[in-house]
A and B are shown apart, each in its own frame.
Chain A
Amino acid sequence: MSTAGGSNPEYVTARVRARRSALYGDEEYRKLIRMGPAEIARFMEESDYEDEINALGSRHSGVDLIEYALNRNLAKQFDDLLRWADGRLYDLIARYLRKFDAWNVKTVIRGIYSEADRDAIADDLIRAGEFDEDLLDQLLDAPTIEDVVDRLSGTIFGNDLEDAYEDYEDTGVLVPLENAIDRTYYEHLLEGLVVDEATQQYREFLEAEIDFRNARNALRLAQSGADIDPADYYIDGGSLFTASELATLSQNRDELVTKIRESKYGDDLSAALDELESAESLINFERALDIALLEYTDALGHVFPLSITPIASYILAKEREVDNIRAIARGREAGLPEEQIEQELVIL
Chain B
Amino acid sequence: MFEALLQQAEAAPALEPTAAAALAVGLAAFGAGYAERGIGAAAMGAIAEDDSLFVNGLILTVLPETLVILALVVVFLV
Interface residues of A (CB under 8 A from B): 8, 10-15, 17-19, 84, 306
Contacts and interface: CB of A to CB of B under 8 A. Distances in A.
A10 B49 contact: no
A15 B41 contact: no
Contact of B49 (A8, A19, A306): A19
Contacts of B45: 10-15, 18, 84
A15 B38 contact: no
A82 to B, nearest CB: 15
B44 A11 contact: yes
Nearest to A306: B38
A198 B70 CA distance: 33
18 contacts: A10-B38, A10-B39, A10-B41, A10-B42, A11-B42, A11-B45, A13-B45, A14-B42, A14-B43, A15-B45, A15-B46, A15-B48, A15-B49, A18-B46, A18-B49, A19-B49, A84-B45, A306-B38
A18 B42 contact: no
Interface in B37-57: 38-39, 41-46, 48-50
Task: Classify the secondary structure of B's interface with A.
Answer: helix
A267 B44 CA distance: 40
Contacts of B41: 8, 10-11, 14
Interface of B: 38-39, 41-46, 48-50
A9 to B, nearest CB: 9
Nearest to A12: B45
Nearest to B53: A18
Q: Most chain-B Cβ atoms within 10 A of its Cβ — which of A8, A10, A13, A19? A: A10
Nearest to B57: A14
A19 B41 CA distance: 16
Contacts of A14: 41-46, 49
B50 A18 contact: yes
Nearest to A14: B45
Contacts of B48: 15
A13 B42 CA distance: 7
Contacts of B43: 14
B4 to A, nearest CB: 52
Nearest to B39: A10
A18 B42 CA distance: 11
Contacts of A18: 45-46, 49-50
Contacts of A84: 45
